[in-house]
C-alpha cells in the first residue's frame, strides 16, 4: 500500500472510531494525521520529480551515446560498421567497399577502373536458361 493510501486509511479509521476531535487527544491526533498527510503528499511529489529527473537523465544519456558512437565511427570508420563488405578489383587491385544492398544487386562498379564486377553468390540459381555465356 502506498503511504498516501495508508494515511487515507488511517483517517477513515479515525473517523469510524468517532474520534472526538475537540478533545485534547483528538486535536493531537488530527494534527498528527494532517502532518502525515502533508508528508505523504510531499514524498509523492518528490518521487514524481525524481522520476522526471531519471527520465531526463536517460534521454541525455541516450543522446550522449549517440554522439559517442558518431565520434568513434568517424575515428575508425570500418571497425564496427555492420553490413559493409570489401573486395579487391581483379582488374586494377583497387579495394572496393560496398554494402548489402549492392550485394543483392549482384554487381558493383569499380571506382578505380570503372569495371563492372559481378559477385558469384553461393546460392544456387534455379533458372538454367543461358548458362554458357561469355
User: Comparing C-alpha atoms, which of 98, 100, 106 is closest to residue 122?
Assistant: 106
Cα distance between residue 123 and residue 38, in whole Å? 72
- Indicate the pairing of strand 107-109 with strand 95-99: unpaired
Is 113 among the residues that bind Zn ion (CB under 5 A)? yes
Is 92 among the residues that bind Zn ion (CB under 5 A)? yes
Is 26 among the residues that bind Zn ion (CB under 5 A)? no
Among 14, 94, 97, 102, binds Zn ion (CB under 5 A): 94
Cα distance between residue 98 and residue 111, in whole Å? 11
Is 108 among the residues that bind Zn ion (CB under 5 A)? no
Is 35 among the residues that bind Zn ion (CB under 5 A)? no
The interface region with Zn ion, picked from 12-20, 21-29, 44-52, 86-94 by CB under 5 A, is: 86-94
Amino acid at each position: 500500500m502506498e503511504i498516501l493510501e495508508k494515511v487515507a486509511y488511517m483517517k477513515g479509521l479515525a473517523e469510524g472510531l468517532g474520534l472526538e476531535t475537540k478533545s485534547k487527544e483528538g486535536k493531537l491526533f488530527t494534527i498528527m494525521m494532517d502532518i502525515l498527510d502533508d508528508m505523504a503528499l510531499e514524498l509523492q511529489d518528490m518521487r514524481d520529480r525524481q522520476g522526471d529527473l531519471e527520465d531526463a537523465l536517460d534521454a541525455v544519456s541516450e543522446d550522449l551515446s549517440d554522439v559517442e558512437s558518431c565520434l568513434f565511427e568517424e575515428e575508425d570508420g570500418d571497425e564496427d560498421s555492420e553490413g559493409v563488405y570489401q573486395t579487391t578489383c581483379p582488374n586494377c587491385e583497387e579495394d572496393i567497399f560496398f554494402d548489402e544492398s549492392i550485394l543483392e544487386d549482384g554487381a558493383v562498379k569499380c571506382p578505380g577502373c570503372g569495371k563492372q564486377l559481378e559477385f558469384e553468390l553461393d546460392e544456387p540459381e534455379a533458372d538454367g536458361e543461358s548458362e554458357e555465356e561469355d
